[in-house]
Structure 1
Amino acid sequence: MNGTILRTTDGGRHWISQTSGTTDALLAVSFIDANTGTAVGENGVIVTTTDGGANWMSQVSGTTNNLNAVSFSDANNGAAVSWYGLIIRTTDGGAHWVSQRSGTSEFLYGVSFTDANNGTAVGEDGTILRTTNGGARWSHQASGTTNFLWGVSFSDTNNGIAVGEAGTILRTTDAGQTWVSQASGTSNGLVGASLIGTNAGAAVGSLGEIVHTTNGGTRWVNQSSAVTMLSLEDVSFSDVNNGTAVGDSGTILHTTDAGRTWVSQTSSTTNTLLGVSFSDANTGTAVGEFGTILRTSDGGKNWVPQHSGTGADLWAVDFADANHGTAVGYGGTILTTVDGGDNWVSQPGAPYVPLTGVSRTDATTGTIVGGAGVILRTTDGGNAWIQQTSGTLYDLTRVSFTDTNTGTTVGQFGIILRTTDGGNNWVPQQSGTPELLTGVSFTDANHGMICGVFGIILRTTDGGENWVSETTPTDYDLSRISCTGANNGTAVGYGGSIFRREAVR
C-alpha cells in the first residue's frame, strides 16, 4: 500500500525500501533484467525504472482504472490489464500506452508475455485470452473452469500455468489450445504464479499459501511458511536458536533454528496466551486470559497447566532463572513464584491498575510497568513492590532490564524511558514516532530493539541516545520483540506475523 516498493540484491535476506513517487497502491511489477522494470497499480498508476529502482519515473497510462498486472518481454514491449477487459500496450518502453480491444468485458487480473507477440491474459469467470500478434487481436480460449483466475505465467510460447480461486491450477503445453486442471493440494486462493522451463513452477496465495512443482505440475507440494494466521502476542528466545511465540486461542509456536522454521505445539487451552518467558531452551512459562499459566520443562513438547489462584487476565511474565518468576495482569494482579510455578503467590502492588510488563534480573530484583505511567520495583523478591516516579501518565506496555540498574520501558505516543540507576531516575528518550510502542528487548546496556503498531521497529546501539527506524516489510501491528544478540531480533504480531532479521551493524 501507499506506493510501497521493496528491493533486494542478496536473494531476499535484506529488503530495502525505495521511493516510488506515488501514494497509490502498487499491485504488480515486471522486470526484464536487474535494472529495468515497471510497476502498476491503483488509479492507473505506472512507474518505471532503468537503474534497479534507485529512481522511479511516472508514466501516463491513459486510464484511471486499477491496473492489476503487467508483463514486459523486453525493454520496449509490455502490456497491463485491468477491469472491464481493458488491456493497454506499449512498444516504446512506456513512453506511450495504447488501449487494445480484448473482446471481453470481464475483469482481467493476470498477464504474461514471452516475446513481443505471444501473450496470455486471465481473469474472472475462468476467462483466458491469447494473442500471437502483440495484442492486435485477442482470442478466447477454453479454460474449463468458471473460477476466477488471478495469475498466469508462461516460460516459453507453449508452456504456461494459470492460477486462481479455490486453489485452481491450470496447465498448458500447447500455447493454451488445451488447458488441463491440476491438483494443487489447497483450497486457498492462488494469486500469483511463476513457471521456469517446462517443469519447475511455484504459486502463492492467501493465508501465506505456497505450492511448488518440479515435474510440470504432476505433483504440487505445499511449502507454506505460515504456521498460523492467528495473532501472536509475545515471543521469547532463550538463545540464538531456541524461541517460542504465543498468541490467540492458545497458539504456541516453537523454533530451534533461529526462526527459519516454526512448529506448532499443543497448549491444551483455547484461551489467548499473552506472555511467555523461557529461562533456557527447555524451561518456559506462558500466561494468558482468565489466569491461565502453562509450564514446560522439555522445550514445549508438553505444556502443563499450573494453578494461578486468579481469574484475572495475565498480560506478561518473566523469569530470572528456572525457578524465580513474576506474572502480572488485570487489576494490578502480581503473582510470584520461587519454585518454577509449583506455587504462585499473590503480592500487593498497585491495586486496580492494569500491569502489562515485567522484567526480572535475578531472584530478588524486578520491575513492573503498567497503565498511567505506573512503575513498580522490588529488591526483595516481591515481598514489597515500591512505586517509582516515571514522570508520565502515558500507559507503559513493556520493560526490559539487562542488569539490576539498566532498563528501558516503552508505551503510548512513542514514549521511551531509560534508567541507569535501578529506576531512581527515569529519563525520556526520543523515539521519533507518536505511535504506540508495544515491545522492547535489550541484550546488553547498549543494544536493543523496540517494536510497535504499523510495523514499527526501532534499534539502538548506544543505550537509546539514538533510536533509528528500521525498514520492515509490513504495516501490521507488531506485539512483542525478542533479541538474542546485538544484531538479531524477532518480532511477532497481527495475523501470525513473524519477522526475523540480522540488523545492520
Structure 2
Amino acid sequence: MTLRGTLSRTAAACLGAVALAAGLGLATGPAHAGPGTDARWHLPGWEPKDTGSDARLRGLSAVSRHVAWTSGSGGTVLRTTDGGRSWRDVSPPGTGALEFRDIEALGRRSAVVLSIGPGEDSRIYRTDDAGATWTETFRNDHPDAFYDCVTFFAGGRHGLALSDPVDGRFRILSTSDGGRSWQVLPDDGMPPAQPGDAAFAASGQCLVSAGRSDAWFATGGGATARVLHSADRGRTWTAAESGIPAGDPARGVFALAFRDARHGLAVGGDYRPGSPSPDAAARTADGGATWTGARTPPPAYRSGVTWLPHSRSVALAVGPTGSDVTFDAGRSWHGFDSGSYDTVDCSADLGCWAAGERGRVARLE
C-alpha cells in the first residue's frame, strides 16, 4: 500500500472515531463540532441482527463492520460477512455438548475458539477456511484444569489460554504458531492463588493482551478481586487488587480491556440476578499495577468491556441488564441501552458488536 493510501485509511478511521464519539454525545468543542453542527446528540442504541440461533453467545470477535464471529452454547459458532444481515452456522462438527465461551479471529478466514469446562471439556479448535473445517489443536487432560479464556498478541502468532488454579496456581497455556499447537507454561512465575480464586468465563474477556508481550487476567471468588499482569508473554506475573468487591464465588472482575500497555478498564460485580454490584468498575493508567474505582460506575453487574478504537477516552460495557458508555476513560459511566448482552467487541473500522442470550447479536449504529 502506498504512503498516501495508508494516510488516507488512518485519517478516515480517525474521522470515523470522531463522528461516532459525537454520536455518543462526546463532542462538545470546536475540534468535534463544525459550523452548522447540531449539538443535540443522542446516546446510541444497539441495532439487533437476526442470527437464527437460540444459543447463548458469550464469545465474540469483531473483524470489521461487516465481518464478525460469535460463539456460545451447544457448540455454536456463527459468522457474518455482510454486517449481520445473514449468519452462517460454522460450528465444528460433533461439538454440540461443548460451551464455546471465547473466540478470537486471526484474520478474515482464520479463527481460534475455546470451549470451557472440567477435564476434556476444555478444548481449542482452529479454522483457516472461514469455518468450513476445524482442527482440534488442544484437549485438556488434567482433571483439575478448567480453561476460561484465550487471547492473542499483536501479529497473531503468539497467544495464551487461562485455566482456573491447578495445585494452587492459575495455569497458562501458550502457543507460538497461531494456535496450531499449545504447551503448558511452568508455574514458577505465577503468584499463589487465593482460596476460592477463579476466572469467570462470562465474555471471553477474563484474559486479554496488548502489543506483542503484555497480558492481563482477572479473578474473583477469593477474598479480593485481582488483576494479574505479565510483560513476558505469560512466563511471570504480578498481582494487584482491583478494588472491585469479591469475597463470594459470584463476585469479582469479569472482563478487562486495555487500549495499550498502560491504560486499562475492569468491570464486574455480582452476576446473580437482582444482586447489588456497587463499585463494579475500575481503571488503571500504569499497566495494572494500581487500580482506581469509577467515580460513577455502571448501576449493575457488567460482563463485557471494550475501548472504542482510535479514542483515548471512550469505551463500552455490557451486561444482562444493559449497556453503558464512558467518555472519560472509565471515571464515569452512563447507561444507553437496556438490552441484555454478555460480551462486546470493536474492530479498527469502528464495527462495534455485542452478543448475548437467545442468539442476540447487535451492532452499534
Q: Please give the range of the TM-score, normalised by the shorter of the 2 chains.
A: 0.5 to 0.7
As a proportion of its length, which structure holds more strand?
A: 1
Change (3 A) 1:200 1:31: farther
Higher CA-based Rg? 1
Q: Distance in 2 between matches of 1:474 and 1:222?
A: 20
Residues 397-451 of structure 1, C-alpha deviation per residue, up to 9 Å, x if partnerless? xxxxxxxxxxxxxxxxxxxxxxxxxxxxxxxxxxxxxxxxxxxxxxxxxxxxxxx
Task: Pick the aligned partner of 1:76 from 157, 163, 177.
Answer: 157
CA shift at 1:132, angstroms?
A: 0.5
Match in the other structure for 1:60: 138
Partner in structure 2 of residue 212 of structure 1: 325
Structure 1 residues 8 and 170, CA gap change in structure 2 (3 angstroms): same
Alignment partner of 1:89 is 2:208: no
Distance in 1 between the 2:357 and 2:286 partners? Answer: 40
- How far is 1:71 from its partner? 0.8
Contact 1:27/1:67 (<8 A) preserved? no
CA distance in 2, matches of 1:32, 1:162: 24
- Structure 1 CA distance for aligned equivalents of residues 261 and 358 of structure 2: 39
Deviations 1:363-397 (A, max 9, x none): xxxxxxxxxxxxxxxxxxxxxxxxxxxxxxxxxxx
The structural deviation recorded for 1:112 is 0.8
Q: Which residue of 1 aligns with 2:303?
A: 191
Per-residue deviation, 1:37: 1.9
How far has the Cα of 1:184 moved from its partner?
5.3
Closer/same/farther in 2, CA of residues 222 and 132 from structure 1, 3 Å limit: same
Gaps of 5+ in 2: 1-72, 201-205, 247-251, 270-276, 341-355
Match of 1:126 among 209, 225, 231: 225
Paired with 2:79 and 2:244, the residues of 1 have a C-alpha distance of 36
TM-score w.r.t. the length of structure 2 is 0.58
Q: Which residue of 2 aligns with 1:32?
A: 106
SS at match of 1:83: strand
CA RMSD of aligned residues (A): 2.6
SS of 1:71's equivalent in the other structure is strand
Q: Supply the AA of the counterpart residue of 1:39.
A: V
Return the letter of the residue paired with 1:188. Answer: A
Q: Is the 8 A contact 2:244 2:268 kept in 1?
A: no
Partners of 1:498 and 1:119 in 2: CA distance: 27
Mark the CA change 1:185 to 1:144 in structure 2 (over 3 Å): closer, same or farther.
closer
Identity %: 23
User: Equivalent residue for 1:140?
Assistant: 239
**Conserved in 1, the CA contact under 8 Å of 2:283 and 2:331?**
no
Q: 2:290 aligns with which of 178, 181, 184?
A: 178
Unaligned ranges ≥5, structure 1? 228-472, 477-496, 500-505
Deviation of 1:185 (Å): 4.6
- Superposed CA offset, 1:147-199 (max 9, x none): 31111111211111111112611111221122111145534221111123422
Partner secondary structure for residue 161 of structure 1: strand
Matching residue of 1:103: 191
The aligned counterpart of 2:126 is 48
Alpha-carbon contact 1:18-1:53 (below 8 Å) kept: yes
* C-alpha distance in 2 between matches for 1:29 and 1:184: 31
Amino acid at match of 1:90: T
TM-score (norm 1): 0.43
CA distance in 2, matches of 1:52, 1:161: 31
AA of the residue aligned to 1:69: C
Residues 345-494 of structure 1 mapped to structure 2, 5 A cutoff:
none
